[in-house]
Structure 1
Amino acid sequence: MDELDSYSRTVAAVAAEITGKVAAVRVGRGSGSAVVTGEGVLVTNAHVVGDASRGRADFADGTQAEFVVAGTDQLSDLAVLRARRSADLPEPVRLGDADSLVVGQLVVAVGNPLGLAGSVTAGVVSALGRSLPTRSGRAARVVEDVIQTDAPLNPGNSGGALADHRARVVGINTAVAGIGLGLAVPVNATTRRILAALLEDGRVRRAYLGVVGTPAPVPADIARRYGRKDGLRLVEVISGSPAAKAGLRPGDLVLDVGRRQVHDAQGVQSQLFADAIGRPLPVTVLRNGAMVDVVAVPTELS
């Protein structure tokens, strides 16, 4: 009983801190949720906003705020909204760091599912590093490093907050993956960089390398020799891409990119922003038991 009381107190405290800072948003015929993250600024999903340029945010206390869409990024499924009057918004949430999450950790989802404002559900982090297929026009893309949770999500939760036990927002809920499964875009250093670019420029310029990979362990002898446990196994290298031109191949185990250790797709993507376009990018891979160094020159992602 004491454990249940403790759990209930934690969820109730998170709900009390977060609920008033998550709005129901209406854009044209679409709707979803959005989180207040700064003075006059809300964050939601790109798929909630669609092609809309403006809309309205409704908070649980009855407050309403008109907003314009500052920018959207389909590849991360994130969008930034700017209130016409910052005084109309409540205080922003505290942002956490999803990179510190562990499987089994308590998380609380706050949003407006099915039009029911200020709804709260709780669960745990079910898995980390998931991939979420999405589309940008005719192009199929993948949102990488997504958080999977069993906190129940329903239509309308998209764009809402996923918070940890200290009421720090660690994810932006993005999709219902199936019965009992939800997905959220992680809040981390890469996300903050994306949001800053959307606020400043209305879009995110990215570098393109042209690889698809999955985390994989380093062979035991290599692990002992170099002190590395894992890397990114390339399952596809796009024909004609900068990666292909540099000589990267499917099956390569990527260990370093830009002289930084890589353990997953996030480690690569975090280096593929505007400043990497057209510049030599050293890549170290393990191939057939040997270390191979190549230099790729990323192009701009269109």
Structure 2
Amino acid sequence: MDELDSYSRTVVSVAETVGPAVAALVVGDPDRPRGSGSAVVVPDPDDPAATVLVTNAHVVAGSRSGRATFADGTHADVRVLGADPLSDLAVLAVHPDARTPTPVVLGDAGALRVGQLVVAVGNPFGLAGSVTAGVVSGLGRSLPTKDGRVVEDVVQTDAALNPGNSGGALADARGLVVGINTAVAGVGLGLAVPVTTTTRGILASLRRDGRVRRGYLGVVGAPAPLPVDVALRLGRPTGLRVAEVISGSPAQQAGLRSGDVIVDADREPVAQAQDLQRRLFAEAIGRTLPVTVLRGDAMVDVLAVPAELTG
């Protein structure tokens, strides 16, 4: 009973801390909305005394404005400052006359461990302020999207997510937001964009420039253990196993194959999707990117030329 009480107190505390800053979001014309989901109030990357809203790029879906309604019933008109399909993140500005709740505190998903308690807060099926709890089921996942793109390094959780949760908050036991819920992959399987140094840079670029120039390779992968001899030689236990190569992508043109394990990109170690993602910002576009993979028992060097993600 004591363990259950402790668990309950933790979830309640997180819900009370994070819940007020999670809004139900409707985008497009209020009379003819184009989409809906959730959004989270976070500190403005350029001015910590101000706030912006973060949601998913697929939630805004090309819309430029919308309305956010908070748990206390207040609402605010919002304007889309920018969206990045590769990270599935978007940043919204709140109308200057509107008041928003206290922003959440962003954590670091890099510290997450499989089995750790997480709490999801969002607005599934329009049910405002809904809270579910679960554990981190996996880390470093890649999520292929319907348009052939890949959202890298997502967090897998069994906290129940349903339509409308997209754009909501995934928090740890301390109430720090470590992810932005992005998709429902199946029964008992939810995914969230992690909050990392890379994510913070993406939000800052969207806030300032309205876009993020990103390179695109087109691989779907997850961390995988390296053979003992290779791990000892490289000094690290894992690489990024390629589960799928997107048809027509730079990765396919370069000769990357399903089953390859990427161990280096641009002469830097790759142990998870985030390591590859860091190599694919604006400076990588159109430049030859050397990629080293373990293919069977052999190390193979592949030369890829990332394309610019458009649209």
Q: How high is the TM-score relative to the length of structure 1? A: 0.88
The equivalent of 1:16 in structure 2 is: 16
Tell me the distance in 2 between the aligned counterparts of 1:264 and 1:190. Answer: 13
8 Å CA contact retained: 2:150, 2:218: no
3-state DSSP class of the match of 1:88? coil
Tell me the distance in 2 between the aligned counterparts of 1:140 and 1:241. Answer: 9
Q: Are the structure 2 counterparts of residues 277 and 12 from structure 1 closer, same or farther at C-alpha, using a change threshold of 3 Å?
A: same
The offset of 1:171, in angstroms, is 0.9
The offset of 1:244, in angstroms, is 6.1
Q: Pick from 289, 294, 298: which aligns with 1:281? A: 289
8 Å CA contact retained: 2:217, 2:250: yes
1:210-229 equivalent positions in 2, closer than 5 A: 210-229=218-237
The offset of 1:258, in angstroms, is 2.3
Q: Are the structure 2 counterparts of residues 132 and 285 from structure 1 closer, same or farther at C-alpha, using a change threshold of 3 Å?
A: closer
Q: Pick from 161, 176, 184: which aligns with 2:184? A: 176
Q: Are the structure 2 counterparts of residues 211 and 116 from structure 1 closer, same or farther at C-alpha, using a change threshold of 3 Å?
A: closer
The equivalent of 1:257 in structure 2 is: 265
Residue identity matched to 1:82? A
8 Å CA contact retained: 1:234, 1:252: yes
The equivalent of 1:96 in structure 2 is: 107
Q: Pick from 122, 127, 138: which aligns with 1:127? A: 138
3-state DSSP class of the match of 1:90? coil
Q: Pick from 182, 193, 199: which aligns with 1:191? A: 199
Q: How high is the TM-score relative to the length of structure 2? A: 0.86
1:51-73 deviation line (CA, Å, top 9, x unaligned): 21111111112221111011112
In the alignment, structure 1 residue 7 sits paired with structure 2 residue 7: yes
Q: Pick from 74, 78, 101: which aligns with 1:67? A: 78
Single out whichever of 72-81 and 282-291 deviates more from structure 2.
282-291
| Structure 2 unaligned spans of 5+ | 44-49
Q: Are the structure 2 counterparts of residues 210 and 14 from structure 1 closer, same or farther at C-alpha, using a change threshold of 3 Å?
A: closer
The offset of 1:151, in angstroms, is 1.6
Tell me the distance in 2 between the aligned counterparts of 1:186 and 1:290. Answer: 33
1:119-139 deviation line (CA, Å, top 9, x unaligned): 21211112223333323xxx3
Q: Are the structure 2 counterparts of residues 124 and 247 from structure 1 closer, same or farther at C-alpha, using a change threshold of 3 Å?
A: closer
Tell me the distance in 2 between the aligned counterparts of 1:175 and 1:244. Answer: 26
Residue identity matched to 1:36? V
Residue identity matched to 1:33? S
8 Å CA contact retained: 2:118, 2:136: yes
Count, aligned residues: 299
Residue identity matched to 1:129? G
CA RMSD of aligned residues (A): 2.4
Single out whichever of 14-23 and 108-117 deviates more from structure 2.
108-117
Residue identity matched to 2:42? T
The offset of 1:81, in angstroms, is 0.5
Tell me the distance in 1 between the aligned counterparts of 2:243 and 2:73. Answer: 50
Residue identity matched to 1:12? V
The offset of 1:189, in angstroms, is 1.9
Percent of residue pairs bearing the same amino acid type? 70
Residue identity matched to 1:179? V
The offset of 1:102, in angstroms, is 1.2
Residue identity matched to 1:35? V
Single out whichever of 5-14 and 163-172 deviates more from structure 2.
5-14
The equivalent of 2:36 in structure 1 is: 31
Single out whichever of 18-27 and 272-281 deviates more from structure 2.
272-281
Tell me the distance in 2 between the aligned counterparts of 1:252 and 1:177. Answer: 24
Tell me the distance in 1 between the aligned counterparts of 2:24 and 2:7. Answer: 27
The offset of 1:159, in angstroms, is 0.9
The offset of 1:145, in angstroms, is 2.1
1:221-240 deviation line (CA, Å, top 9, x unaligned): 22233323221234556687
Single out whichever of 281-290 and 113-122 deviates more from structure 2.
281-290
8 Å CA contact retained: 2:71, 2:129: yes
Q: Are the structure 2 counterparts of residues 26 and 286 from structure 1 closer, same or farther at C-alpha, using a change threshold of 3 Å?
A: closer
In the alignment, structure 1 residue 271 sits paired with structure 2 residue 271: no
1:187-227 deviation line (CA, Å, top 9, x unaligned): 11222222112111111211133544443332222223332
Residue identity matched to 2:105? R
Single out whichever of 171-180 and 7-16 deviates more from structure 2.
171-180
Single out whichever of 93-102 and 141-150 deviates more from structure 2.
141-150
Tell me the distance in 1 between the aligned counterparts of 2:233 and 2:93. Answer: 51
Q: Pick from 240, 265, 277: which aligns with 1:232? A: 240
